[in-house]
Amino acid sequence: MTAPRATRTRTPKIRENLPAPQTAEGLYFHYKPAEAAQWTPFSPRTITDMIARREIDYVFNGRDNYLTGAQIVALVERYTVKPFTKPAHATAA
């Protein structure tokens, strides 16, 4: 006989009507990692792991970890790949 499997999964509660991080209201709003994930190329778990490894800036209020809108914008800009442009002084061979 085997033990019963867990049937309940933990899904983080995401608040409704969140301001976008790049707006004036959203720059200082505190987002939970699951809420911030919708504006980044990362999953909530990846963001949580990056916070635990101290790879990204975050806000700690003594109990929970948060990201401000400005930190989300900086995170997205950090991992944005810019298009390659040839230097002006390059000559054809």
pLDDT digit string (tens) for 17-75? 999 999 999 999 999 999 999 999 999 999 999 999 999 999 999 999 999 999 999 99
Average pLDDT over residues 63-91: 89
Q: What's the structural domain count of the chain?
A: 1
Q: Is residue 50, in this structure, part of any structural domain at all?
A: yes
User: 67 forms bridges with which residues in the sheet?
Assistant: 31
Range of the domain at 60: 37-78
Higher pLDDT among residues 79 and 89, named by residue:
79
Residue 91 confidence (pLDDT): 65
Distance CA 37, CA 7 (A): 25
Its pTM surpasses 0.85? no
Q: Is residue 57, in this structure, part of any structural domain at all?
A: yes
Q: Is residue 85, in this structure, part of any structural domain at all?
A: no
Look up tokens 């999953």; give the residue: 43
